[in-house]
Amino acid sequence: MSNNDNKRRQFFKNVSAKGNIRNTKEIQLQRDFNSGRVSRREFLKIAAAIGMAAQAPLFLSAAHAQATSSEEYDYIVIGAGSAGCAVAARLSEDPANKVLVLEAGPADSNDYIHIPATFPFLFKTPLDWNYTSEPQTALNGGTLYVPRGKVFGGSSSINAMIYQRGHASTYDTWGETNPGWSYADLLPMFKRSESNSRGESAAHGGSGPLNVCDLNDPNPITIAMLEASKQAGYAMNFDFNDGDQEGIGMYQVTQKNGRRESAAVSYLHPAIDAGRLTAQAEAMVLKIIITDGRATAVKFLANGKEHTVTARKEIILSGGTINSPQVLMVSGIGPKAHLKEHGINVLKDLPGVGQNLQDHFMMPVAYRCTQTISLSQAGSEQQAALYAKGKGMLTSNIAEAGGFLKINPQSPAPDLQFHFAPGYFILDGAGNPTDGSDGFTILPSLVQSKGTGTVKLASADPSVKPLIDHNIFQNESDYDTLIAGVKIARKIIASPALNELRGKEFLPGPDVQTDEEIKTFINKYVQTIYHPVGTCKMGNDDMAVVDHELRVHGVDGLRVADASIMPTIINANTNAPSIMIGEKCADMIRNS
């Protein structure tokens, strides 16, 4: 064997040995990460040093909590929901910022999250906080189900994906006492967040992280319902978000290629993939630690162990309308008497925390369908094959179309919304027929309720669900809006375009005709539309919790950024506005 052959053999032997050493280091590093001995940030640093061509897994489970909490961060965002994902991702765009997101639920790996039509299967599962209201007086002691996403993406991972901003007049009212919150001020935030498949325009963004599009494959029942609405005398509306909200039409959705486009998909995962932030799942926040009037740290529970993590700059609470006031109150921020009632040391008396709860309410007008084309057929092999191509019933968001009408002519904005579903949707889906029959539903929806409710503590223990009281129908005129909605829904369904699809009326049923009978039906079948807002309201009055820059009154280094800051509820679906609030909060922090 020549000397050159020996050198060549030794060369490859050395390379192999180095490779084995590197592989051993990679294996050990992976083990250290999986066991939680090193944080994700440390994993990426070590991986780069040894030339490891890999990324740390996206899912930081409870096992990683100790490593996560051993580091200090510039910003801690509590809650990986719609607003939390947006504010965290935007703050992480500055490489100087070290950002941590704490989420009580797991990563969004469940397939039912990403298949649009299957979102009701997520209700009352571990991915849902699964709240129930207190017994409601107007409902003769009945309760309301309040689903809230407990997963990366929050409620944007379990909602119906409808992209609506709401009427400009609501934002303009906010802006009267909160500088920077008129619709003209907020339109750039909406546009920046949005990538609309119709293209960029004066009203829409074309290059934002959140994909907004028309449904890939609308159901023929939905198309017939739109034609029936037109025949019933209602104007068509191609775009509910361009300044003219009234009318009936298809809803645009937060989807891409027939799959859900949640705030986690659009904001959080790209930031994690780029190594810009740390997202700690399965981290139940116990309290925000206030030191000398400043929010400095967060205590959380993971895998049965308590951990404390410190923020150098700010803590942003994005727990949502139910959880954010609860976290504030167990941390000693809230109504003085209520906190003392639960033995909580009062650090800041803010009487508005947990007050001003507002929501939207709807109930079903459902009919049998004479053809087997409703969403009852979505589970077939044929539909599974279509879904693989981004088509078919499984791409449906269920509430495919609808619209907005004014019942009160003096109202500055529509007070009645409709959701058109080419299938049954009764009592959150739990009241649907179980016989596999076909049907369709129009859901008249009250979007300008005149009442407010509360979120209060049941215990100082943050793991105990709070007491939610919508105080529904405290104003009798709210019934009038829904009664009118039932009559309009029946009028639409009676139109000729639905003659070949319309079977017998399933609900309310032909025996329910008078206003009093409809009111009784409403009390039995009303549900929320999963749009709670307002419990940490923005403003400068005695009941305000945050100022116009979302800073908690009287506490430094702490902001709230989610739907709870809305002083008054918008008259449409709340996901897009929640994302906008996250965008707005990040802007204000960066400019402060």
Give percent above pLDDT 70 in the chain: 93
Query: CA-based diameter of the chain, in Å?
Result: 104
Assess whether 531 carries a catalytic annotation: yes
316 and 439 together in one domain: no
501-559: pLDDT as tens digits: 999 999 999 999 999 999 999 999 999 999 999 999 999 999 999 999 999 999 999 99
Q: Please determine, for residue 260, whether its predicted confidence score (pLDDT) is greater than 70.
A: yes
- Confidence grade of residue 3 (pLDDT, cut at 50, 70, 90): very low
375 and 444 together in one domain: yes
151 is in an annotated binding site: yes
- DSSP letter for 139, please: G
27-46: pLDDT as tens digits: 777 777 777 777 766 776 77
Quote the number of domains for the chain.
Answer: 3
444 and 485 together in one domain: yes
140-149: pLDDT as tens digits: 999 999 999 9
Q: Taking Cα atoms as reference points, which of 297, 315, 318 lies closest to residue 307?
A: 297
- Confidence grade of residue 22 (pLDDT, cut at 50, 70, 90): very low
- Confidence grade of residue 23 (pLDDT, cut at 50, 70, 90): low
Position 46 scores a pLDDT of: 79
Question: What is the per-residue burial (b if ≥16 Cβ within 10 Å, else e) of 96-119?
Answer: ebbbbbbbbbbbbebebbbbbbbb
187 and 305 together in one domain: yes
Q: Taking Cα atoms as reference points, which of 502, 571, 507, 503 lies closest to residue 533?
A: 571
- Confidence grade of residue 61 (pLDDT, cut at 50, 70, 90): confident
Mean pLDDT value across the chain: 93
- pTM for the structure as a whole: 0.92
- Confidence grade of residue 1 (pLDDT, cut at 50, 70, 90): very low
Peptide bond into 412 cis (omega under 30): no
330 and 187 together in one domain: yes
375-392 mean pLDDT:
96
Range of the domain at 395: 116-138+213-261+358-528
53 and 102 together in one domain: no
302 and 187 together in one domain: yes
From 167, 204, 470, 531, active-site residue: 531
